[in-house]
Each structure stands twice: as C-alpha cells, then as structure tokens.
Structure 1
Amino acid sequence: MIVPKLRHAWGGPDFKTMLKQELEKLGVDELPLQQGLTSGSHALDDDIEVMIFNVSESEGVILARAGIFYKSMIAGCSCADDPTPVDEVTEYCEVTIEIDENSAAMVITLLPAQP
C-alpha cells in the first residue's frame, strides 16, 4: 500500500493523527486483524480504533507501533438447531508500521500477543 500523504506529513505536528486516521480507514483486507483474533472466529471491519504508541525514523524508514481495537464475530454453524448465538466480541492486537521514505510503501506487521 502506498501512502504519499503520510510520507509528506512526517516530522509535522499532525503525523500521528494522520497515521491513526489512515489506519482506521483500512479493513480486514489490509490489516492483520484476522490473524490477531483471540476470542472470535471472524474479524469485522466495523468500529476499528487505533492508538499510536510511538513513531521514529531509522535509515530512511518511518517506524510506528500501534494498538488496534476491533470487533470479531463468534459464529455458529447456522443450523436450525444450533444453540450458539451470533455474537460480537471486542478484540485487540498490536502492529508495527513501516513507511519507506522514498517509495511511500507502507507495511503493517502483526506483533505477537502479550501474555
């Protein structure tokens, strides 16, 4: 994913806010939400909230660490006699974000869950 707007905002006072907004626009296709599930069986695009913990720069790469709150669904088998209700659960995962300063390419990587 290419994010020239973020590359140009780097170093400015609004960078963290812009990064948060850009990440919250993404969904399960771009964020590793399905891989970060701990309770549900299917990650949802609804109500994604991002907290930016820190940002830094190293050798031409903008680095950030963020926490993502999102919802997942616990789904049954949809059989007529299935007692399992369809329910939403709040999930949380942490990611690293790398933005190449030359190409503006952004890579988002899921961090291992903390015990």
Structure 2
Amino acid sequence: MAGIGQEREAEQTGQPRLPAAAAAWGGEAFEPTLRDELHSLGDALMPLLQAGLGAGGIVTGGPEQVMILSSRLDEEGRIVVRVGVFYRSLIAGCSCADDPAPVEPLEEYCELELAIHRVDGRTSFRPST
C-alpha cells in the first residue's frame, strides 16, 4: 500500500496516475483500461507529444488513438508498456491572409514508454527508443 508521503510526492511533481490500468494488469481488461486512462490524461501528454512531432510545429490536443505495442514487468515490479500514439499537429503560421502554411491538421505518431507502479498507479513517461 502506498504511503501518504508517496501520494503527496506524486501530487507535487504532477506525476500522472493510472490506477485502473495498474489494477487490471494481467487480465483481459488491461489494454482497454490503459487506453481509456491515457485518453483521459488529454493535455497532460502534450509535452511528450510535442517532443515527438515530425510534420507539424504544434500539437493540437491529446491522443486520438493509442496502440499497445508491448507490456511486461520490470525487475522492480513496475508494469512497463510501450505505446504508439496517434495525434494531430499544425504548422504555425503568421495568420496573414497570404500565409502559405496549411490550415489542415497533420497526422502525427510517436512511441512512448510508460512505467506504472502496480501499488498506486504512479506513472512515468518517456519517449521510446
């Protein structure tokens, strides 16, 4: 069971929690539960998505689709998951009438690695290599 100190630390650092996914680990509900919780994070993932941009210059929102690529337990007992995230971006222009930048959103994709603590769902994210 997580201590109060750990909960406060996670709240202070803004570390997201995926408690339902942690609870569903090992069962058929894990993947859909993880996808739902990742979608619910919305804008919290934007800095990582921004770092993964390939076509545009600015992320337009949270993930549109999440694909689970792999999952396993690491030596510390955390659930390590590699996910593919589909999202959209825009090329930021000058908003001038004759600006040639496309206004249509661009499709983006990046891969992230999550480490989910099984006890309390605290989750760290990093770009997948």
TM-score, normalisation: structure 1: 0.85
Aligned-residue RMSD, C-alpha: 1.7
Between the aligned partners of 2:38 and 2:87, the Cα distance in structure 1 is 12
The answer to whether the 8 Å contact 2:63/2:85 transfers is no
Count of matched residue positions in the alignment of Structure 1 and Structure 2: 112
How far 1:26 sits from its partner (Å)? Answer: 2.4
Corresponding letter in the other structure for 1:101: R
The answer to whether the 8 Å contact 2:18/2:34 transfers is no
Q: Which aligned pairs between 1:1-115 and structure 2 lie closer than 5 A?
A: 1-31=16-46, 32-45=48-61, 48-58=64-74, 59-112=76-129
TM-score, normalisation: structure 2: 0.77
Hey, which bits of structure 1, 4+ residues long, moved more than 4 A? none
The answer to whether the 8 Å contact 1:6/1:19 transfers is yes
Q: 1:47 to 1:55 in 2, by over 3 A?
A: closer
Between the aligned partners of 2:119 and 2:41, the Cα distance in structure 1 is 22
How far 1:23 sits from its partner (Å)? Answer: 1.3
Percentage of identical aligned residues: 39
Corresponding letter in the other structure for 2:104: D
Give the secondary structure class of the aligned counterpart of 1:51: strand
Between the aligned partners of 1:100 and 1:47, the Cα distance in structure 2 is 22
Unaligned runs of 5+ in 1: none
Q: 1:25 to 1:94 in 2, by over 3 A?
A: same
Q: 1:46 to 1:33 in 2, by over 3 A?
A: closer
Corresponding letter in the other structure for 2:111: E
Between the aligned partners of 2:41 and 2:19, the Cα distance in structure 1 is 16
Unaligned runs of 5+ in 2: 1-15
Q: Would you tell me which structure has more strand in proportion to its own residues?
A: 1
Between the aligned partners of 1:102 and 1:46, the Cα distance in structure 2 is 26
